[in-house]
Amino acid sequence: MPLLVSKFFNLYADLGESVLVKINGKPEELQSGTVLELLKTKNIEPQMVAVEINNKMLERGDFSTTHLNDGDQVEFLFYMGGGR
């Protein structure tokens, strides 16, 4: 494979493919990746949120190994303090 073509394919592989998911009810196109990568992209601290994927609560330890797929429904549930 010529060097230029090889570099093109490596660049394409690094970009990943995009997926269309719903996050808290709103459609969003993003690079495929893990839930943890999505949280980092959105500047959300993993310890401050619970995550549901397709109506199933995700264990915090699985954030880094759970990949988002086209059509997934993602819900972020944030912990709130306060009250009386």
Contacting residues for 52 by C-beta, under 8 A, at least 6 apart: 58, 73, 74, 75, 77
The pLDDT tens digits for 26-66 are 999 998 899 999 999 999 999 999 999 999 999 999 999 99
pLDDT score of 17: 84
Q: Tell me the domains of the chain and their CATH numbers.
A: 3-78 (3.10.20.30)
Yes or no: say if 74 and 60 are a contact pair by the CB < 8 Å rule.
Answer: no
Whole-number Å distance between alpha carbons of 4 and 40: 33
Mean pLDDT of 68-80: 93
- Whole-model pTM: value is 0.74
pLDDT band, residue 1 (cuts 50/70/90): very low
Whole-number Å distance between alpha carbons of 50 and 46: 8
Whole-number Å distance between alpha carbons of 46 and 43: 9
pLDDT score of 32: 85
Whole-number Å distance between alpha carbons of 84 and 57: 28
